[in-house]
Amino acid sequence: MIRRLDNTKHTVATQIYDIFQASYQIEAALIGIAYFPPLARTIDDINAAQTQFYGYFEEQELAAIVEISMQDTVLSIESLTVSPAFFRKGIARKLLCFVMEEYPFSRALVETAAVNAPAIALYKKQGFVAVKKWTPAHGIEKVAMSISSTEHS
């Protein structure tokens, strides 16, 4: 089941934080880096975020989270994380499809590390295409991917 998460509640922000930490530690290892900016995000940061959070629940357990924002008709996938206990179950795809159906968009955007092959494969399967590669100040090469509403079926 997918439902909206109220990140302004401390207990919910803590649950989001815990999944972010577990998932991003694995992503940092995959990328092969010691400093991974998403790991620096605090419970207070999540609690104060102006983005929308949705959780995927397996029975009563929060298994995955998608964080989004909308600006005009552009849907931005800010984060998509799955608890390691729930990897390889298609949950990330379900969350991605959910937000793309729930939020009418002209374009959807996502960014990930250029070496994050599992994430890139997920987005490509959903029709996203790479539109930009760059290396920000933190030194981790990133790729931006995009899909228009007309390309989304």
Whether residue 72 has pLDDT greater than 80: yes
| CA of residue 140 relative to chain centroid, distance | 17
| 2-148: CATH number | 3.40.630.30
**What's residue 83's pLDDT?**
97
Nearest to 91, CA basis, from 100, 99, 101, 81: 81
Cβ contacts of residue 46 below 8 Å, gap of 6+? Answer: 7, 13, 16, 17, 20
Q: What is the pLDDT of residues 73-112, one digit of tens each?
A: 999 999 999 999 999 999 999 999 999 999 999 999 999 9
Closest CA to 95 of 60, 130, 119: 119
Q: Is residue 152 scored above 80 in pLDDT?
A: no
Model pLDDT, residue 90: 95
Mean pLDDT of the chain: 94
> pLDDT tier at 153 (50, 70, 90 boundaries)?
low
pLDDT for the residue 112? 94
Q: What is the pLDDT of residue 121?
A: 96
pLDDT of residue 136: 87
User: SS3 of 77, please?
Assistant: strand
